[in-house]
Every structure is written in C-alpha cells, then in structure tokens.
Structure 1
Amino acid sequence: MKQLRWIEALRENQCHQLEKAGIVNKTKVVDHGKKIRKNWSQSWTVLHGGILTFHKDPKSAPAGNANKASQIVPEYTVDLRGGSVQWAAKDKSSKKFVLELKTRQGCEYLMQYDTESIISDWCKVIQDTIHHLTPHQPEPEHLSDEEDDTGSDREDRKRTSTRNTSAADSEQNRIRGKLKRFLQRRPTLQSVKEKGYIRDNVFGCHLDVLCHRENSTIPKFVEKCIRTVERRGLDVDGIYRVSGNLAVIQKLRHKADHEEHLDLEDGQWEEIHVITGALKFFFRELPEPLFPFSSFEKFIATIQLPDHSQRVSYMKDLVRSLPLPNYDTMKLLFKHLRRVIEHKESNRMSVQSVAIVFGPTLLRPQIESANMTVHMVFQSQIVELMLNKFKDIFSIEGAPPSPSRTF
C-alpha cells in the first residue's frame, strides 16, 4: 500500500515512521478486562510508532457537525507495547480472516478484512512491531550461596527498574505527543477521497448525491439488482418476501460500497434472495426515503380521499413533483414490481403482498409518532394504488415541467 504523503513530516527516525495504513473492519470485545458487545464497523487504521489508531467511520459523526464530519476522527488508540496478535478462533467471530489483538491494559480487539493477503499483511506488521517494542530479556544466571543477592544489590536493581520504567513512560509520552501532533495535521476526508484512499459508500448515501456522483438519475446498484432478478428470479417462490442470508447480504453490501465494478453473476450471489434482500436493504438505508419526508403527509392525505379517480389524479401530480432521481428510480422500481406480480402464479407475490413488503421500506415519516400503526396501513395502500394504476400515474402525457425536478 502506498504511504500517504501527508505523513512524511513525522519521518524523523525508524521507530517513528508510518508502518502501515488502510481500511479494515474492527470491533472492541474486551475493555480493561470487561467483555463488551461486538459492534463491527469500518475504520481507517494507522500504525505509527508502535501505536495503532482506529478512526471513526465519518458516517457516525453527529448530524449538522460539518467540521467533524469532514475530518478523520480517532476512535481507539492502541499501544502495542507488551501486546499480542494472532488469528482469532472460530468461536470469536463467524467472519473469515479475523485477527485477535490483545493489549497489556486488558483490552481486546478483532480486526477483519475479506481479502486474506491484506489482513495477513496487517498481522505480520503488527507482530513485527510488537517484537520490535519488546526488549529481549536474558535468562538470569544461577547464583551460588556466596554470590547470592544482598539487600544492597536488591536496592540497586529496584532503583534501576524504576529508572527503566520512568524512561519507558517518558518514551511512551513522547510517542503519544508525536501522534497527537500528527493527528492534528490529518487531512480532510474530502482530500483523502480525492487521492483514492477512501471510496464513497453506495449504501446510506443520499439518493441525489449518489446519482450525481454516478452521473445518472438511477443508482447503478438498483439497476444491477433489478436486471439480475428479472433474468433469473421472477418465478422464485416468495421473491422479496423471503429473507436471504443476512451475512451474505452484508458481504454484498460491503462489495457494493468498495468495488466500482460489482458482478452480481458471481457464484457467491447465486441465491436470488440475497439480491432482493440487498435491494430492500439499500432503500431502507437511504437517509431520506424514496418518497421524500416533505411529501409524506401529502401522500397520506391523498390515499384517504373518498373518490378513487381523484386519488389517482392527485397521486400522479405528487409523483410528477418529485426530484428527478426519485421519480426515475421510483418508476423503474414499480415497473419491475409489476413484472414480479405478473408471475404471481409461480412466485405467490400478489399486489397486496408486494405492497406490504415495500410500503414501510419506501416511505416513512421523518419523526415517528403515535400514528405509526395507522401509517403502516396507509403506506401499503399507497404502494398498492401505484402498482394497480402504474400506467396512469407514470404517464407523461400532459406532464408540466416541475421546478423541483432538478438534478
């Protein structure tokens, strides 16, 4: 891995050079001897001067805190002196290629990456660093009775040990000071992305931001999933209703976030419920749903109109007023769901079944209220109406230009 240019300022001697930096998955499992619940997250990880630093995922920064969100913020700083690292046992995690890192302070971390060569390199570098930081202790010589310790000798050794401990603490404080100054000069998240070290995520990204980045009005991941399902999944029983393997879905999510050219025809994605599960997960992870928060109450009010033709007319107007990425993505998705329903004799997915699955996934209020149960009924009814009246609602005849549909 290429060393980052912005670290060269700290290259004063061999001990204080950057040994390694990169993205890994990590979780803390023991905190000063106390077991804690695993919480895997992605981390920009830096090994420097015997200190391993895990940085927070920028998505975890509080909303509205633009300054912090634009920086790579340290989450855990691990002193490797006196620590140990080894491949984790199978009972530690169901993931593959997992390292177990223990510190002398009684903390334990798990580190993982899907590519074996990358995580193996991390293991070797951490082991070498720990070995470099741990001085060799010679075996004590056997003393005869005449050469046995005196009280004065023991005092001398105690003072020497105290001086060595003080020197070690002083060196550790000096390294921490260097690391602190280095972190204060850390680059912005945007500059790291521009250099290609971090790629923007697909999951959890605002729809308009993702589409703008991909120079499209429909996310590429959505198009790939729909093409795959229509090619080999329309007749599968319970399509979109049956859940896929969550671990494999999470693996697919990770691939989509970190690999630009994702191949859904790869054998590891053979189970079609994994593809449909990932597609539903994509829409649930949108910070703002496909039906924008600002339109939620309008859609709820429209579905309650007593006149059916009026409901369809108002629904069409609301859909046409959506931003272009929302409109185009919605049109493609509902067109696809219509094809799923056309095969209901084999897949047992009726209009009502599809509406129940996608209602809460595609639209939700910005703030949950006591009316949540009532809203769930209306959410399904909205999706059901749009599926039944797809051609009327998405017809572009006579559609006036909408100022909100900009991209």
Structure 2
Amino acid sequence: FGCSLLALCERERATVPRFVLQCIRTVERRGTPLGTGTAWGDGDSSGDSLHGMFGFSLEAWYAAPPPDEHLDLDDGRWEDIHVVTGALKLFLRELPEPLIPFSHFDKFIAAIKIQDPSLRGRCMRDLVLSLPPAHHDTMKVLFRHLCRVVEHKEENRMSVQSVAIVFGPTLLRPASEESSMAMHMVFQNQVVEHILNHYGYIFPEG
C-alpha cells in the first residue's frame, strides 16, 4: 500500500487497479444487500489491525508481484467481508495522492459551494471529467459500487450521507494538514454526496 495510483495503473497497464476491482467484485459476490452496506460502514479498518493481519504480504505483493500471480481474496484470511472492505478503504486512504488529486481539491470545494444547482452540477461533472484517467476510472468503479450499496439503505442503514461520512475525508483531502480539517470535512462529505446523487449525470455511460 502507499503506492501512487498512476504508477500502479501504469505498471498494470490499466486505468483501475486490479486490487480495487477484486475487492469490489468480492464484496458484491459474497454480500447480501445488508452485508454489503454494514461491511462498508462498520468493521475494524484501522491501519494497525489490517497491517498486523496481512500488511506485509500485501505490500510485498504490490511492490514486486510474482509473474502472473493474482491476489486470492478467497484465501481464508479474507473470509470476513469486513477484512476486504477494510483493506480497500486502507488502500484508498494510503494513496500518496488521493483519488481526487491535491491539485483538484480547491476546485471541488469551490464547485460544491456554488448556490445554483445547475451550474454546480455542470462544474462538478466537468471537474470529474478533467481527472487523470486512472483517477476518473477508479472513481467511476468505486462510486458505481457505492450507489448499489445506497440502493439498499433501508436494509443496511447506509444512506448517501453515511457513505459520504465514511469516504469523504479519504477520497478528497488538502495537500496541507495545516488547514482547518473540521471546516473542510463538511464540504468533503458534500462532494461525495453530490457524486453519489448525480452518478448517472457525471458518468453517463455508467
């Protein structure tokens, strides 16, 4: 973990990391609507616990993966769905450059503050489209899954707001930690809420 998204995708010759796809497919294959939602919202996804469980092997695998070897999420260590979702959240949190790059942070915050709904929607869509392919495509895959989670909010208690609280500070953060995190957090969550609520407009082919 802690590998640049662009570098990882370049190495894999893809625009979405294989690990992200594997985690999401595993969750959707195993999880009932209830299990999927609670897995994303609850569970122990702290860095210490996950690194202690399998951190070395994962980091070593990503640093120098054996030829043609794929990470086996059916291995017993991944049996608990919370381990899979926790690992993906950890992967996203430890990206040196977040899914929404530092260079776009102020632009997204400014866009979400726009009062006119139509203008705000267009600005948000254009900003997402302006992301590097690896960031754009990974965001599309992740948010498509999160939209499916939200569809079952009556069963899993994972509303748009709940998902935004979980992912807002992870996917969008300023380069400098000196700025007011509490002030930014409201807008970080609102950005995630907006993308979830307008997924079909932002990713029309999705």
* Same-fold status (TM-score > 0.5): yes
Name the SS of the counterpart of 1:339 in structure 2.
helix
Work out whether residues 291 and 326 of structure 1, in 8 Å CA contact, stay in contact via their aligned partners in 2. yes
Pick one of 145, 154, 158 that aligns with 1:345: 154
1:338-386 CA-to-partner distances (Å, cap 9, x unmatched) read 0111122221111100011000000100002343211000000000000
Residue in 2 that maps onto 1:72: none
1:137-156 CA-to-partner distances (Å, cap 9, x unmatched) read xxxxxxxxxxxxxxxxxxxx
Post-superposition offset of 1:392: 0.3
Residue in 2 that maps onto 1:35: none
Question: Which residue type is aligned with residue 249 of structure 1?
Answer: L
Distance in 2, matches of 1:374 and 1:228, equals 35
Bigger fraction of residues in helix: 2
Distance in 2, matches of 1:325 and 1:310, equals 26
Identity across the alignment (%): 58
Distance in 2, matches of 1:207 and 1:363, equals 14
Residue in 2 that maps onto 1:317: 126
Distance in 2, matches of 1:388 and 1:269, equals 31
Residue in 2 that maps onto 1:205: 3
Residue 99 of structure 2 corresponds to residue 294 of structure 1: no
Post-superposition offset of 1:248: 5.9
Residue in 1 that maps onto 2:40: 240
Distance in 1, matches of 2:49 and 2:19, equals 16
Post-superposition offset of 1:235: 2.0
Alignment of 1:218-367 (within 5 A): 218-233=16-31, 234-236=33-35, 238-244=38-44, 249-250=50-51, 251-259=53-61, 260-367=69-176
Distance in 2, matches of 1:338 and 1:208, equals 25
Work out whether residues 360 and 380 of structure 1, in 8 Å CA contact, stay in contact via their aligned partners in 2. yes
Post-superposition offset of 1:262: 1.1
Alignment of 1:4-403 (within 5 A): 203-233=1-31, 234-236=33-35, 238-244=38-44, 249-250=50-51, 251-259=53-61, 260-395=69-204
Distance 1:273 1:309, change over 3 A: same
Distance in 2, matches of 1:248 and 1:340, equals 25
Work out whether residues 217 and 324 of structure 1, in 8 Å CA contact, stay in contact via their aligned partners in 2. yes
Distance in 1, matches of 2:56 and 2:19, equals 12
Bigger fraction of residues in strand: 1
Work out whether residues 5 and 134 of structure 2, in 8 Å CA contact, stay in contact via their aligned partners in 1. yes
Distance in 1, matches of 2:124 and 2:173, equals 16
Post-superposition offset of 1:256: 2.5
Distance 1:317 1:336, change over 3 A: same
Note the residue ranges of structure 1 that are not aligned, 5 or more in a row: 1-202, 397-407
Work out whether residues 239 and 349 of structure 1, in 8 Å CA contact, stay in contact via their aligned partners in 2. no
Note the residue ranges of structure 2 that are not aligned, 5 or more in a row: 62-68
Post-superposition offset of 1:241: 1.6
Name the SS of the counterpart of 2:39 in structure 1.
coil
Post-superposition offset of 1:394: 1.4
Single out whichever of 341-350 and 209-218 deviates more from structure 2: 341-350
Post-superposition offset of 1:266: 1.5
Distance in 2, matches of 1:348 and 1:355, equals 13
Post-superposition offset of 1:245: 6.6
Distance 1:309 1:347, change over 3 A: same
Distance in 1, matches of 2:130 and 2:138, equals 14
How many residues are paired up?
Answer: 194
Work out whether residues 255 and 262 of structure 1, in 8 Å CA contact, stay in contact via their aligned partners in 2. no
Distance in 2, matches of 1:361 and 1:245, equals 12
Work out whether residues 45 and 90 of structure 2, in 8 Å CA contact, stay in contact via their aligned partners in 1. no
Distance in 1, matches of 2:202 and 2:126, equals 8
The TM-score normalised by the length of structure 1 is 0.46
